[in-house]
Structure 1
Amino acid sequence: MDIKQKQRVTLCCLVLVAITVCSAAVKKDATKSVDRRSYSSACGKADIVFLVDTSGSIGETNFNKTLEFIKRVILYSSSSIGPNALQIGVDTFSSSFHSEIGLDDYSYWYSLRSAIGSIKYRGGGTDTATALTYLTSKSFSTSAGHRSGVSKTAVIVTDGKANSNSAAIAAASSIKNAGIYLLAVGVGNAVDSGELNSIASDPVSKNVFNVSSHSYLSSIAYRLQKRLCAVCHGQVDVVFLIDTSTSLNGRVFKDTLTMIADVVSNSDVGSNDVMFGVDTFDAVFRQQITLGEKASKSSLMSAVQNIGYHSGGMTNTALGLFGMQTVSFSPEAGGRSRAAKVGVVVTDGGSNDKNATIAAAKAARAAGIRMVAVGVGSPSYTELYSIATSSSYVYTGTSYSTKARLRTLIASIKNDC
């Protein structure tokens, strides 16, 4: 091999090495990009406030680790910050409470990140009760940027016991009743586990996080982000859509109302728990009871039993499904932004346009509604299966078995939140 040939071979080898290195780098960057996009906008539209302990037992170094932890959780949660996306607030507390960053202070991730990094360590005692109380009056107030109808979640990060255990627990109970969902992060061995469990919202098994030191906070950042974004606050919005076409008689309708009343009777009904709505459809879609319209379980059950039967000709199931998806779960109808959504269609499955029904059901499922199909009369199971989220969500009749399965399903969804 002459010198020129050797030079060409050497040059080719260098090019190959360069391509390999660059390819690996591109692949590595692409992987990071894919990971980042998978987190992007994961939390959707939500108001989240971090309440950070800056008491004397923590020290400035560990406090700064907490700030890095918060930045990492936010990074995983969303790339979109602002009035139409995720809003983040940060408060600190020790002997006194300090509002560091309001919910509507920043609309850009890098500005928010810089602001978090600039928060100063203060030292002092651990007045957890006062800090929790300010979450309601200040942190999630309209003046601080909270948006009406948007879920409220607070994450408290602490390394010790409150100055007053009973006062902290009472304050936590009060703000949970005000609709603020609480997650708790305990750091170190001095944490009072019982206190954290009492502060956090149920289920505590999913809403309390513990690490042995501030150095390990980063290890739970992704798990906390997943919980923040997946959480539906124990809230479930359930809408029943009842077929009142001429193919089903008044007796079946009455049995359906009795079934719904039974499910309501055995559920935790309330603005922070399960809310029910009822629609009917035939040739026309009608909203009978909107979500949250009836504040108490007894008034809701009475309203359900008093829904009048009026048969309206053909079975326009597609119209009913469209109305349920676009109207019944909307904020205007009482739908909650972070609540799990369940639609229960009670029909014989004989719609006037099967293709339109399939398309409308697909759109409802794509909108995040878990679809249950209850077949009554002489049901068309092919159509029922096309409506339901899965075959396990297809039930038959209004019997005790169906009631029990609906109660179990709703309770299971609520407990998974």
Structure 2
Amino acid sequence: PQDDYLKLISLGSKTAAADKFKRFVTGKGLWRLKDTIDRRFMDKFDDLPEMTEPPAPANSVAGMQAAIEEEPPLCGGCGAKVGADILSGPLSRLPASERTDIIRLPGDDAALLDFGSSRQVITADSLRSFTHDPYRMSKIAALHAMGDIWAMGALPQAVLVTVTLPPLARPLQAEWLGEIMAGAAEVLLPTGAEIVGGHTSMGAELSLGFSITGLLDAPPITLAGAQPGQKLIVTRPLGSGLLFPGEMQHTARGRDIAALLDTLETPQGRAAGILSVAGATAMTDVTGFGLTGHLFGMLRESGAGAELTLGAIPIFDGVLELLTAGLRSHLHAANQAGVPIVSSGDDPRMPILFDPQTAGGFLAAVPSDAADATATKLIDAGFVSAVIGTITADEPRITVH
């Protein structure tokens, strides 16, 4: 090895130390030099050639190669969920409930239980791992499930946690469980919810589920309350269902993934409160069925239509490049097939409407005269909010401009 090569070590706070010819100096200029050298090196790995998948073995089952090629890789987060078309059949065959204390709200965010003197909502949600950080994964999965409670206008109450750990040595099992519970507690306890129990098991990969109850002190905000003339507001950008597979395929930028994770681990209870005070009559969180899937559920239950302004819908940084490159989520095709849409043009941003969201924002119908002020309040509170459309007196369908 050379004795006189330049050695640069970052010291933090954008300063670095340099050693060459047995001379040692520090300074911010050295950090900039190191940063330039490092970036130049990493740029070599930024545009790697795409590798083709190896063909299926000669003795493989007939049709296997075609089946593999026509299905996008399974994503993490909400992109790993089952499509609405598959869900609807088995659920429709369930016998109707005869209990008088269960209020049927087909397709809504949470079930409604009526105890006479009080009403409670209950929901369950689980996510396939999309990050190797169990602490961060736990925070996002917990907030993802909490979105159903907030969307109904309820106050979080009790939480059960279901953990499937990947194969790990016993010391690592304890360490991962500790990180998972710490992450869940960090975001759940400030909402007033208590973790009251749960279940653990071992499996092929990390998966986290949360069952949550909430208490109502006012009528629930359901899917059925949207009224013609109201405006549609969202509280979070779209695109997590593209960025996560983009990371899996090494086509998404690291800074875009970091910004996405920072957003997803931000609680949205305050956003739901602002929308409720503004007079929202219908609300849902945008998750696995995508923006148009969840909007169509609202329109179907409300007996109304909607018009969307595509250019008004916020998207995460890096998403447009992935759309242009042709990347789609595993659930994209199923989400697109399940929604009647009329479009006035061929816009490259259209596919974002069918993108499944993990810990997505709220979609709410609010009075027209309160919409702009409400969006401003949400922005002032730190949410990326926008007025994206209008409820119309049409049959349940979505017109995109």
| Structure in which a larger fraction of residues adopt strand | 2
Normalising by the smaller structure, the TM-score range is: under 0.3
| Structure in which a larger fraction of residues adopt helix | 1
Q: Which has the higher contact order (CA 8 A, sep 6+)?
A: 2
TM-score, L = length of structure 2 = 0.22
TM-score, L = length of structure 1 = 0.21
Choose 1 or 2 for highest CA Rg.
1
